[in-house]
Amino acid sequence: MTSFVPGPVRVTVPATSANLGPGYDSLGLALELRDALEAEVTGSGLVVEVEGAGADDVPRDESHLVVRSMRAAFDLLGQQPPGLRLSCRNVVPHARGLGSSSAAIVGGVVLARALVAGGELLMDDGAAFRLTARLEGHPDNVAPAFHGGFVISGNETGSDFWAVSASVDPRVGAVVFVPPTGVETKVARGLLPAEVPHADAAADAARTALLVAALASQPEQLHRATRDYLHQDYRRPAMPDSLALVDALRADGVAAVVSGAGPTVLAFTDSDGSSLTHDLLARCPAGWSAQHLAVSLDGARVE
């Protein structure tokens, strides 16, 4: 019979940016902006506490995404706890293209595993990652949230998910420009065509391959490597201000992309405090927020 560990368990999970321009549904990068989750097994019932991003909107019952993810993990681990207390401190903005749902899913699965005695033996990292990808429906955000760093991911049959980590040059950082209102992922995806021209697909494949090399060791190639042909322009009606900012930054030689499904804009830069980072932060549109984020080499961590 499954036994549970005494006392609370704390997990932090990074924000993520998927696509990164041409790498639609396949590339993802973990960023050093972390949600913090704490949970413990209790005698009965469910208590959910939330502060920070989404605190006014998310449910406090079994439909909470972290709770649903924990339940799915407990099922695989062999037993549901008699009761749960969950506390979430959210800093990853919701519906902005920075992986808030993936952070919740990954955090829930990792929390549940850590609450079970011998949980990592009962569910290894491969099984835990595949569960998170099934819950999310696609792996490009959960892969870096779980593994950290830069991850290439996909699936073969709709459920056979895979992820491969790739290196990131230590000179690479990011500035994210976050608008005041969000865009739901299903809305952004709904604007995409069923087919694209073969020439666009070929051009996108070349840029995706170059982006892997650029992030690994040749950041001077990031501007060329982040040119997208598959999804960003199609999504312009849902986020015209975001695409206008991408266009303006790219016209000045900055490697800028829509982060995930948007509407956040990510611009590649170097270190916090550099002249490039300073100049980028100064270009934040009125009413938006901007900050420099380092690449998070760690994924979800049990603290």
Which residues make up each annotated binding site for ATP? 93-103
What is the helix (H) or strand (E) element at residue 3, kind and residue range? none
Distances in Å between the alpha carbon of 224 and those of 151, 153, 209, 256, 303?
20, 22, 11, 10, 39
Report CA torsion sign: 26, 27, 33, 37: positive
**Residues comprising the binding site?**
93-103
Q: Counting beta carbons within 10 angstroms of the beta carbon of residue 275, is it exposed (0 to 12), middle (13 to 18) or buried (19 or more)?
A: exposed
Q: What is the dihedral of CA 73, 75, 80, 83, to 10 degrees?
A: 40
Beta bridge partners of 9: 39
Q: Counting beta carbons within 10 angstroms of the beta carbon of residue 155, is it exposed (0 to 12), middle (13 to 18) or buried (19 or more)?
A: middle
Which has the closest alpha carbon to 98: 41, 30, 147, 181?
30
Position 166: which residue type? A
Distance, CA of 57 to CA of 35 (rounded, Å)? 16
Q: Give me 232's structure tokens.
A: 């960003």
Q: Counting beta carbons within 10 angstroms of the beta carbon of residue 124, is it exposed (0 to 12), middle (13 to 18) or buried (19 or more)?
A: exposed
